[in-house]
Amino acid sequence: MNREDIATRLAQVSQRIAAAAQAAGRRPDEITLIGITKTHPVEVAELAYALGVADLGENRVADLVIKRRAVPNATWHMVGQLQRNKARDVVDGRTVIHSVDRRSLVDTVNRHAAEASVTQPVLVQVNVGDDPAKGGCPVADAHDLVAYAHDLRNLRVVGLMTMPPLPGPGAEAARAAAPHFATLRSLRDAVNERYPEVTELSMGMSADFAAAIAEGATMVRIGTELFGSRRTADGQTAKGAR
């Protein structure tokens, strides 16, 4: 991917976001595009930022740390599952952690934020499809987990995040994901009544972001459509790797 390739893809994705927003009666500027640079070289993050993608995301702590250092003015998003022993490296009061999904992790993130004297923005990840392969708390626990995190001094819960199960063979990704997006939205609406600062809905990836925007997404996390398919360590193309 060179600069021109990314610029072209970015223009297309931005147009599709705007079209999906308009179709849903929403303003395109209600939706933050997060460019997911995972597995791509640091230069891809630098190029994307230079082209106007102010929000960038990674799913592994080590890669996040490297790219965040290279592109420090972007708003970085940690979207992958987070182990407690790696949380310290992520917490800086600015990087948005999308994958807080259990009390032990809430406690750890809060502790590191307190040590760094920062208020750490987080989203609570919800496993709306009860997919054993995905992180996230059960739908039934989400409200309690938000309440628990909300009461800690050094955390700010800004929203909810989900990653629906991969659709079965033949199923269309967007259609399969739509009911899961709707579930997260009603959960956010319910939580928001009690906690007005919980507004963000992080949902929608390359295959289904238009459906997510129709259901109210405020943050879409897009990798493949912006930066091409991912390479695994052995050089194979990682199809749909999540």
Q: Which residues bind ligand PLP (CB under 6 A)?
A: 36, 38, 59, 79-80, 163, 205-207, 221-225, 242
For the CB of residue 242, give the shortest distance to ligand PLP in the complex, in Å: 5
Q: Looking at beta carbons, which residue is closest to ligand PLP?
A: 223
Cβ neighbors of 1 (< 8 A, separation 6 or more) are: 40, 44, 47, 227, 228
Shortest Å, Cβ 38 to ligand PLP? 5
The CA-atom distances, in angstroms, between 108 and each of 120, 146, 154, 179 are: 11, 15, 11, 32
Closer Cβ to ligand PLP, 129 or 223, answer by number: 223
Is the Cβ of residue 154 or residue 216 nearer to ligand PLP in the bound state? Answer: 216
Our CB check for ligand PLP shows the closer of 164 and 216 to be: 164
Q: At a CB cut-off of 8 Å and minimum separation 6, what does 233 contact?
A: none
Closer CB to ligand PLP, residue 21 or residue 205? 205
Q: Give whichever of 116 and 241 is closer to ligand PLP, judged by the CB atom.
A: 241
Separation of alpha carbons 169 and 167, rounded Å? 7
Q: Which amino acid is present at 156? A: R
Minimum CB separation from ligand PLP for residue 178, in Å? Answer: 16
Least gap, CB of 41 to ligand PLP (angstroms):
16
* Biggest CA pair distance of the chain: 50
**Measured between alpha carbons, how far is 46 from 158 in angstroms, rounded to an integer?**
26
Name which of 143 and 242 has its Cβ closer to ligand PLP: 242
Q: At its nearest, how many Å lie between ligand PLP and the CB of residue 193?
A: 27
- For the bound state, the minimum distance from the C-beta of residue 206 to ligand PLP, rounded and expressed in Å, comes to 3
Rounded CA separation 141/149 (Å): 12
Paired tokens of 68: 């965040």
User: What is the C-alpha to C-alpha distance for residues 63 and 58, in angstroms, rounded to an integer?
Assistant: 7
